[in-house]
Amino acid sequence: MDHQQTQTSLALFCKVVDNYGDIGICWRLARQLEQEHGIAVTLWVDDLHSFRRICPEVDVDLERQLVSGVTVRHWRGQDGVFSAQDVADIVIEFFACDLPPGYIQAMAERAPHPVWLNLEGLSAEAWVEGCHALPSTQPRSLIKYFFFPGFTSRTGGLLLESGLLRQRQAFQQDAGAMRAFLGQFGVTPAEMTATKVSLFCYPQAPVTELFAAWQAGDKAITCLVPEGVAADAVQAFLGQAATAGVSATRGALTVRVLPFVPQPDYDKLLWACDLNFVRGEDSFVRAQWAAKPFIWHIYPQDKDLHHVKLNAFLQATSAKTSSLVTFSLGWNGAAGETIDWNVAWRRLDADLPEIARLSTDWEQQLLANGDLAANLCKFVETVK
Ligand code: TRH
């Protein structure tokens, strides 16, 4: 979309359900559309406090602010009044967050109507391909298209900024940079030489059991945990409050609490570790661009529906071994049998080099699908 033409405008609406994934994904997409596609992006978000945890530049008291070239608006409820002039060329509703009725009214009054997308959640389930890019007729002859991220060429692909993999390779080939990055959080040279694990999971994960297996193991483990994650298990291990900077070593295991870092630094944490425990959606995707083995803790849903989604991914990914599948099912309470974490860990640990090798093949497969932001722009061209 070259600049001779008027700059294309885009409005991205994000409601923070809980945790950081919703804003994590929307912030990443907003920045990329602005920086790589020259689109004038306005990000409407209803929770600036969660936003600031992943992006310290955000001022929680401002109604409107410019952050990294993106206009950030504080989305306060559904009563806003808008005119057709306020409506962007492209409107993205994240996770069916229900646009303000006044904005939809203004979209209908705008000529031409904007391109309206609902950016859906990520899943490897087969039905996604059949729903991706489907139109749905809305009142006042508006059309909304469903845009699905995914792992195949018949989906919207995954978020990936251009240059990210080059940055990663440079960082992972620079031992000094990795030492300095982890050193700023207090990681000692001895902890650096151990197997480094990042731990980002939901409270339900069997962290206490895994810590016991690591502590009793014959291999030194340095477990790096963002503050607030698995707080009960971490506090019990540390014997004190799990605040950033606190660490303890028991047996073969050292646990160190990290501060919650800005989003770009979270990538570096994944790049610097030998194994990553990730969750939800955005960290799950970032782990797949880190070329390191990872264990996914999926966002729990009622009636264990998330187990279907988990199994769909474990079937789809090529970066797997039976030890990883068993461990992942156990980690998500989907193994259907009691897991001996000493055995599960020993088997997974032995396969880490193989899984790391397989991760690069999987990365190539994902790259072939194109990145989500570029695919989204191409799709918009076909329907506008
Ligand atoms: O925080 P999450 O559990 O978010 C979840 C999921 O998105 C889930 O799909 C959604 O339904 C639910 O919210 C409502 O996990 P996720 O998706 O990995 O998002 C975490 C974000 O936080 C990601 O963008 C990385 C970022 N992050 C940092 O910026 N700094 C950090 O220190 C850490 C640990 C994470």
Which residue has a Cα nearest atom 8 of ligand 1? 280
What is the amino acid identity at position 143? Answer: I
- Predicted pLDDT of residue 5: 62
Which residue has a Cα nearest atom 4 of ligand 1? 21
Q: In angstroms, what is the span from residue 280 Cα to ligand 1's centroid?
A: 6
Give pLDDT tens digits for 123-159: 999 999 999 999 999 999 999 999 999 999 999 999 9
Q: Is the pTM of this model over 0.75?
A: yes
Q: In angstroms, what is the span from residue 245 Cα to ligand 1's centroid?
A: 21
Q: Is the dihedral of CA 309, 358, 266, 45 positive or negative?
A: negative
Q: Helix, strand or coil for residue 224?
A: strand
- Predicted pLDDT of residue 207: 98
Strand ranges, E, within the chain: 9-14, 40-45, 64-67, 70-74, 90-94, 115-119, 135-138, 142-147, 195-199, 221-226, 247-250, 253-258, 275-279, 294-297
Q: In angstroms, what is the span from residue 23 Cα to ligand 1's centroid?
A: 8
Residue 10 · residue 39 · CB < 8 Å:
yes
Closest ligand 1 atom number to CA of residue 24: 24
- Predicted pLDDT of residue 172: 98
What is the amino acid identity at position 346? Answer: R
Phi, psi of 215 (to 5 degrees): -60, -40
Pocket residues: Cβ below 6 A from ligand 1: 17-22, 24, 54, 200, 226, 260-261, 263, 266, 279-284, 299
Please give the average pLDDT of every successive group of 10 residues along the chain, which has 384 residues: 72 96 98 98 98 98 98 95 97 97 98 97 97 97 98 98 98 97 98 98 98 97 98 98 98 98 98 98 98 97 93 92 96 94 97 96 97 98 96
Instruction: Give the span between the Cα atoms of 196 and 15, in whole angstroms.
Output: 34
Closest ligand 1 atom number to CA of residue 229: 34
Closest ligand 1 atom number to CA of residue 25: 24
Q: In angstroms, what is the span from residue 15 Cα to ligand 1's centroid?
A: 14
Give me the DSSP letters along 149-198. --SSTTS--B---TTHHHHHHHHHT-HHHHHHHHHTTT--HHHHHSEEEE
Instruction: Give the span between the Cα atoms of 257 and 234, in whole angstroms.
Output: 8
Residue 252 · residue 233 · CB < 8 Å:
no
Q: What is the mean pLDDT of the chain?
A: 96
Please name the residue that has the structure tokens 């016991």.
Answer: 212
Length, in residues, of the chain = 384
- Predicted pLDDT of residue 267: 98
Rounded to 5°, angle at Cα 115 from 110 and 119:
135
CA distances, 157 to each of 73, 123, 129, 368 (Å): 27, 11, 11, 9
Closest C-alpha among 143, 160, 140 to residue 151: 160
Closest ligand 1 atom number to CA of residue 258: 32
Residue 23 · residue 16 · CB < 8 Å:
yes
Residues acting as catalytic residues: 22, 281
- Predicted pLDDT of residue 1: 42
Give pLDDT tens digits for 174-186: 999 999 999 999 9
Number of H-type helices and E-type strands within the chain:
15, 14
Closest C-alpha among 348, 354, 317, 351 to residue 330: 348
Q: Helix, strand or coil for residue 226?
A: strand
